[in-house]
Amino acid sequence: MSHSLASTSSTNSSSSATPSSSAVRALALEYKSLQEEPVEGFRVKLVNDDNLFEWEVAIFGPPDTLYQGGYFKAHMKFPHDYPYSPPSIRFLTKVWHPNVYENGDLCISILHPPVDDPQSGELPCERWNPTQNVRTILLSVISLLNEPNTYSPANVDASVMYRRWRDSQGKDNEYPNIIRKQALAANAEAKKEGIVVPMTLEDYCIKPKRKETNEPTLDSNFFDDVFDLETEDDLPTDDDDEDDDEEEDEDDDDDNADDSGKGETT
């Protein structure tokens, strides 16, 4: 797992020093989308308003889990060639978890570069690919919190403790006690910041926004200008067809008159 994390760091550091225009556009669109339609259990904001490549992520502990009531902060950093390389996530809040390193770095397969690494035990389809986005990452993170990967842990002690609790069917409470203690401490920090942490499923689940009926629409002539399409005024009408038929009949009469004139003798 350490090898995978090193690969991620290497990939991020080797990215171009100048952000690509596609990366800026992708992050701008994703950030806007997450503001308009947030992911349940998360809040995202920019560390600095003028930098799209560093985000602060707040994770609310899901109700009816060990993390209920928790408010865990993380820092998400994007490479300049995003989405072709994955971002990295580091927890700023102390988190005792099999897949979180001591320094807070999150180890999750979706954030590992798509390289051949047999030692990791990860399938290529489990690793990063450019079709992934921040939304899928956040959903994977919340899933990993509740269902750790203990096969190649970042925190071996936490992994052993978690397996003891799981295999004892809850009789060994050392692991859940640590998590709940951290969640309570994080909740206290949230209160200091004026953050209300959702404690019930009803509060946790995001209610869909009602669509505004007065949303601006494109000018009807927009596509005509762009694609130089014919408008209805340019298209032939039935009246035009009738006029054309009358003109053709008149032409035929003139031709007949000419022919008959040629046949007369003087």
Q: Which of 1, 106, 107, 138 is catalytic?
A: 107
Spatial distance between the Cα atoms of 82 and 188, rounded to a whole number of angstroms = 35
**Active-site residue 107, yes or no?**
yes
What's the distance, Cα to Cα, between the start and end of the chain in Å? 112
For the record, the structure tokens of 52 come out as: 């799209």
Amino acid at 157: D
Spatial distance between the Cα atoms of 107 and 258, rounded to a whole number of angstroms = 94
Residue numbers annotated as active site: 107
